[in-house]
């Protein structure tokens, strides 16, 4: 397995494998791997000749009050896990390598898809995400790229960007991997103390509550959301940022559930922000 830090070296590595007619799979990450990350690597591994994983905690997607400085990092551990998953190369550039002095080009996405859910509360977050993903796509030039469905809005936006900007890349969504009690695996779960960790399972339970209501014939989004808020509020010391029901493809809010929807939420548990969603 190769460890590559420079963009030029990554491009040379890709070019060599392209000349050998090798297909390339790509899993972009911010590191500190858990089973969710590894599941994405396994999906890509089955579909390509060369598997590249990037590790880059992207500063442009963090706001001034976000956790960039304390975001968990453990490259030695991540390296061992990548070796176990038969990764061919890790791309681990520095911030200076990705955003050299004088950098001014960013990818902005206009329209409703960036103004709902997390985009409503995290100013310029998706500008940073789309910019770094575009840069990584141009550097790695993969045939396929795999992203987790836990970040549902991010996945939808990346798919739209790939379509709009004509990236010749197949985007694959990997299912959300959960702990035994249903909590979606996340690098940020390590911030939770033991009491918070126990109550955090209420998030997935609230999503299952909404799913059951819909399956039993409830179509009023406001009624479903109200029940979810009551359930979460009575399950721990949560600060609910949002609970929304949106069209699964366009992310437009829906008042009446008729077709495929994404039920998505973001909450604070102490200082830790947690997100989750399901498709119904």
DSSP state of 217: T
Q: Is 125 a catalytic residue?
A: no
In the chain, where does DSSP find H-type helix? 7-19, 35-45, 75-84, 95-98, 118-121, 125-140, 152-164, 194-199, 202-215, 221-233
Helix (H) or strand (E) holding 267: strand 261-269
- Tell me the β-bridge partners of 184: 178
* C-beta neighbour count of 41 within 10 angstroms: 23
> Which one is catalytic: 37, 122, 149, 160?
37
Give me 152's structure tokens.
Answer: 């549902």
CA distances from 251 to 86, 113, 152 (A): 36, 6, 10
The catalytic residues are: 37
């Amino acid at each position: 397995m190769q460890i590559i830090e420079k963009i030029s070296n990554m491009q040379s590595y890709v070019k060599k494998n392209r000349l050998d007619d090798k297909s390339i799979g790509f899993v972009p990450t911010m590191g500190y791997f858990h089973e969710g990350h590894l599941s994405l690597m396994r999906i890509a591994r089955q579909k390509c000749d060369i598997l590249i994983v990037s590790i880059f905690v992207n500063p442009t997607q963090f706001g001034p009050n976000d956790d960039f400085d304390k975001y968990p990092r453990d490259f030695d551990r991540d390296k061992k896990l990548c070796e176990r998953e038969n990764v061919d190369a890790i791309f681990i550039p520095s911030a200076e390598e990705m955003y050299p002095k004088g950098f001014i080009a960013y990818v902005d996405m206009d329209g409703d898809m960036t103004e709902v859910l997390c985009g409503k509360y995290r100013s310029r977050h998706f500008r940073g995400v789309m910019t770094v993903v575009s840069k990584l796509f141009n550097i790695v030039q993969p045939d396929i790229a795999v992203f987790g469905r836990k970040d549902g809005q991010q996945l939808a936006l990346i798919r739209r960007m790939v379509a709009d900007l004509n990236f010749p890349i197949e985007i694959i969504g990997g299912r959300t991997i959960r702990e035994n009690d249903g909590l979606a695996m996340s690098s940020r779960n390590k911030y939770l103390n033991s009491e918070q960790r126990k109550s955090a399972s209420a998030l997935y339970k609230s999503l299952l509550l909404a799913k059951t209501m819909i399956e039993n014939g409830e179509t009023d989004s406001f009624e479903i959301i109200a029940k979810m808020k009551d359930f979460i509020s009575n399950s721990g010391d949560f600060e609910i940022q949002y609970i929304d029901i949106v069209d699964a493809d366009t992310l437009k809010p829906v008042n009446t559930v008729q077709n495929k929807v994404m039920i998505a939420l973001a909450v604070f548990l102490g200082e830790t922000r947690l997100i989750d969603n399901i498709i119904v």
